[in-house]
């Protein structure tokens, strides 16, 4: 066969032939080296995995032992080993935050947000963690702004909305607190009606203290539409006193006492709280005295079985210098009930005041055998927070209407 034409073509296209040969050689070497690289990469990755596993195990043990500083040190080692492990950064940021190193936690979470290679879900998580950093560090404005940024991406964030509720309730921004509680009711399973009622009562109370009684009544109506909370009923009672509607005032007081006799003592404490700068203060005081007279005249058997109701009556009678009437009432109650330590203490005091010192001494000896002292009048049924002040929202656990009465002796 005559191959002369191939030689002639090769001479004419020598550069093309050389290029093809070089390309084939490069492809061959690429394939060989790639196989080696995959094996090497896999082996390298395995060694990194083993090292990270040891680090995470050590960090976990330190956390169990309560040594956050050493746990942080281990996680920093993990970051140095492999800077692409996102979970390590989240763990480290959380540890810095819980350890009070807020600036470092903020720096880590901001660096995660700034990465271009992470997924949107990871970026959202980093944004939430950043909001928690600001929140824990006391940077309230930045925390609120960042929490809102999270909700712009995904409004279905129960924990974020709840955090905003807590912040606005702490800062007494009741309009915002109301808005976010409404939002929370749409994404969560818990009924928010009672809490929303309390928030509206707080708005109404602010208006009441300013003398804006019409606007107060409107907010209070909204509160009742959500739930007839105790705080709503007490504020409505105060409003009736201002407006001079004594029939309704008497009616709602009786309703409150029958539904919540334990609250009898601080119903009147709440009613005594009236802004002295308001022009209606004299009329209010006069009507409050009428309400107290109505209360003292109540003879309901069920009510009189409640130590709190009896104690309220005793203290009101003593305030009115009606010590003999207070003694008669308490003496009769002690003979038929006599199970309340705080009323036993009141009884001893009255015995001394009316000159029955020997009898008071006998009761004192009996009381000291089983007396349980308490330091505060009120406590939270959820977290145990103690206070002499009336609180509808616990300052410690932030739950609403968990206040319980404790006898203070």
In a domain, 392, yes or no: no
Whether residue 265 contacts residue 255, with contact meaning beta carbons closer than 8 Å, is answered with no
In a domain, 112, yes or no: yes
In a domain, 245, yes or no: no
d(CA 37, CA 32): 9
CATH number for the domain including 121?
1.25.40.10
Structure confidence at residue 292 as a pLDDT band (50, 70, 90): very high
Domain of 27 in residue numbering reads as 19-133
User: pLDDT for 14-24, tens place per residue?
Assistant: 444 444 443 44
Tell me the residue ranges of DSSP E strands in 129-265.
none
In a domain, 376, yes or no: no
In a domain, 206, yes or no: no
Whether residue 238 contacts residue 271, with contact meaning beta carbons closer than 8 Å, is answered with yes
Q: If you average pLDDT over residues 132-139, what whole number do you get?
A: 94
What is the tally of structural domains in the chain?
1
In a domain, 101, yes or no: yes
d(CA 82, CA 85): 6
Q: Is the pLDDT of residue 259 over 70?
A: yes
- What average pLDDT does the chain have? 79
Identify the CA nearest to 338 among candidates 316, 315, 370: 370
Whether residue 359 contacts residue 384, with contact meaning beta carbons closer than 8 Å, is answered with no
Structure confidence at residue 71 as a pLDDT band (50, 70, 90): low
User: pLDDT for 33-53, tens place per residue?
Assistant: 444 444 444 444 444 444 444
Q: Is the pLDDT of residue 372 over 80?
A: no
In a domain, 179, yes or no: no
Q: What is the pLDDT of residue 338?
A: 64
- Assessment of whether the complete model's pTM goes beyond 0.95: no
In a domain, 41, yes or no: yes
d(CA 68, CA 325): 64
């Amino acid at each position: 066969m005559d191959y002369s034409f191939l030689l002639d073509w090769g001479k004419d296209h020598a550069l093309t032939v050389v290029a093809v040969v070089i390309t084939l050689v490069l492809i061959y070497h690429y394939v060989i080296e790639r196989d080696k690289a995959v094996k090497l990469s896999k082996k390298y990755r395995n060694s990194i995995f083993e090292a990270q596993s040891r680090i995470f195990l050590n960090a976990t043990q330190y956390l169990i032992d309560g040594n956050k500083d050493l746990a942080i040190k281990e996680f920093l080692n993990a970051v140095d080993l492999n800077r692409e492990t996102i979970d390590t950064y989240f763990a480290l940021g959380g540890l810095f935050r819980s350890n009070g190193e807020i600036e470092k936690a903020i720096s880590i979470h901001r660096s995660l947000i700034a990465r271009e290679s992470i997924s949107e879900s990871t970026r959202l998580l980093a944004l939430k963690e950043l909001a928690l950093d600001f929140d824990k560090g006391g940077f309230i404005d930045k925390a609120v702004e960042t929490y809102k940024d999270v909700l712009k991406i995904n409004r279905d964030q129960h924990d974020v909305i709840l955090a905003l509720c807590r912040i606005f309730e702490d800062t007494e921004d009741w309009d915002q607190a109301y808005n976010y509680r409404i939002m929370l009711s749409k994404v969560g399973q818990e009924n928010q009606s009672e809490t929303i009622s309390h928030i509206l009562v707080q708005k109404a109370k602010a208006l009441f203290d300013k003398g804006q009684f019409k606007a107060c009544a409107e907010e209070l109506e909204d509160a009742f539409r959500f739930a007839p909370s105790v705080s709503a009923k007490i504020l409505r009672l105060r409003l009736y006193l201002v407006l001079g509607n004594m029939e309704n005032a008497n009616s709602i007081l009786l309703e409150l006492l029958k539904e919540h006799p334990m609250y009898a003592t601080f119903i009147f404490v709440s009613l005594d709280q009236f802004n002295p700068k308001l022009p209606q203060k004299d009329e209010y005081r006069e009507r409050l005295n009428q309400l107290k007279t109505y209360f003292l005249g109540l003879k309901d058997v069920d009510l009189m079985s409640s130590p709190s109701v009896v104690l309220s009556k005793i203290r009101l009678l003593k305030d009115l210098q009606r010590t003999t009437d207070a003694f008669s009432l308490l003496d009769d109650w002690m003979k038929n009930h006599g199970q309340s330590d705080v009323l036993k203490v009141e009884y001893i005091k009255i015995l001394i005041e009316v000159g029955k010192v020997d009898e008071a001494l006998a009761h004192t000896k009996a009381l000291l055998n089983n007396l349980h002292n308490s330091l505060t009048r009120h406590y939270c049924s959820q977290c145990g927070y103690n206070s002499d002040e009336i609180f509808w929202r616990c300052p410690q656990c932030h739950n609403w209407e968990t206040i319980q009465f404790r006898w203070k002796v």
